[in-house]
Homo-oligomer: A and B are copies of this chain.
C-alpha cells in the first residue's frame, strides 16, 4: 500500500462513536454535518472550499479551460501501489493533462455504502488529500451520499476537474499527422496486474505495484520545452490497444507499433500469461501515449525521462499514413498483425 502504515493523522471526527458509516450520515442532518465538518472538509481545507455553500467560486485570468470527470469503482479499495482515493485524484488530473491543461481544481463526490468502516473512509480521504497536494491541485467542492448496505460496494468516488490551457496547441487526435512518432512514458500494465494479482491471490517474488501517478507535471514540461505535442492519451481502460485504436479511428490514420519497443516488465508479462491477458490491453493509471513530430522524438524522450514516473519513456512506433488497417503491431518475431480492440470483458472494475 502506498499509505505508510504510520500515516494516519488524528481524525477530528470521533470514529470511536461511529465506527461504521450509517445511512444517517448522508441524511442532511447533524450526523452528516459532523461527518463533513470533522472529517472531509478539514482534510481538503483551502481558501476556496466553502463548507457552508453549494458551489465554490474562483477567478481565472486564462480563458481556455478544460473540464473532465471520472468515477472510480476499483476494487479492492486498497491495492499495492495505491488506493481508490489517490487513484481518483490521479485519474482526473491525468485526463486534464491529456488535454494539455494545467490541473487546478477538483471536486470530490463520495457514494458510501452503509457500514463502511469510518477508518477506511478516513484513510481514503487522507490519501486523496496527499495525492491532491502532490499533484498541485485543490479539492474545492464535494458531495457525500450514503446508500443502504448491499446497494453499493464500500465506496465509489467521483472527481471532476478544471484545468487551464496555457498554450495555443490543439492537442487532439485530429492533430495527429503522418510520420508522427508515438511515445509512451514507461512500462505498461502494472496498474491492472497489481489489482488482478491481488484479486486472484497470485504471489510473485515482489508484489507488482500499481503505476498510478499524476502525469501533469511531465506533460507541462514537454509543453514548456516547446515540443509540438499533437495528441496525448492516458492508457487506462482497454490499455494501449484501445487508445491506439481510438486515435487511429478519430485521426483516420494507420498507426504502427513494434512489440520489441513496448516496455512491459517481466513480472507483469508473467502474470498476464498466467491469467491469459494481453499486457497491451491492461489498464495503467500513470502511463500515457504521446504523438509528436518525428524530428522532436529524441528531445521529447529526454525531457520525459527527467520527470518522475517517466524514467522509462521511449518511442514505440509511428504514424504510417492511411490504409484499411487502423493499428499494426510488428511482433517480436517480426510478423505484422492488426492490433484490434477487445470487446471489453477483460478486466472489470480496474479504475
Spell out A's residues near B (CB within 8 Å): 22-33, 50, 52-61, 63-71, 73, 94-96, 98-99, 101, 105, 107-111, 140-143, 145-148, 150-153, 156, 158, 160-163, 165, 172-173, 233-234, 236-239, 242, 246-247, 249-250, 281, 283, 341-349
Contacts and interface: CB of A to CB of B under 8 A. Distances in A.
Given A53-B172, A59-B63, A28 B236 contact: yes
Given A27-B237, A54-B68, A71-B110, 16 more contacts: A26-B344, A27-B238, A27-B345, A28-B237, A50-B172, A54-B234, A55-B99, A55-B161, A57-B66, A58-B64, A69-B158, A71-B143, A109-B160, A147-B349, A156-B156, A162-B162
A345 B24 CA distance: 4
21 contacts: A26-B348, A27-B348, A28-B238, A29-B343, A53-B173, A54-B94, A55-B95, A57-B66, A59-B64, A60-B60, A60-B63, A67-B107, A67-B140, A69-B158, A71-B110, A71-B143, A109-B158, A141-B160, A143-B158, A147-B349, A158-B158
A24 B347 CA distance: 9
B50 A55 contact: no
A249 to B, nearest CB: 8
Given A60-B63, A70-B109, A173 B52 contact: yes
A236 B54 CA distance: 11
Given A54-B98, A147-B153, A161-B55, A30 B67 contact: no
A347 B95 CA distance: 36
Contacts of A236: 28
A52 to B, nearest CB: 4
Given A55-B68, A348-B148, A107 B32 contact: no
B344 A69 contact: no
Contacts of A237: 26-28, 32
Nearest to A348: B23
Given A143-B70, A152-B151, A173-B53, A29 B345 contact: yes
A163 B147 CA distance: 29
Given A109-B69, A141-B69, A346 B52 contact: no
Q: Output the residue of A32, A73, A346 with the most chain B CB within 10 A.
A: A73
Q: Output the residue of A25, A53, A237, A342 with the most chain B CB within 10 A.
A: A53
A68 B172 contact: no
Contacts of A347: 27-28
Contact of A56 (B55, B67, B143, B148): B67
A341 B68 contact: no
B101 A55 contact: yes
A61 B65 CA distance: 11
A27 B351 CA distance: 10
B28 A158 contact: no
B28 A56 contact: no
A244 to B, nearest CB: 12
A109 B59 CA distance: 26
Contacts of A173: 52-53
A142 B348 CA distance: 19
Contacts of A346: 27-29
Contact of A142 (B59, B65, B69, B234): B69
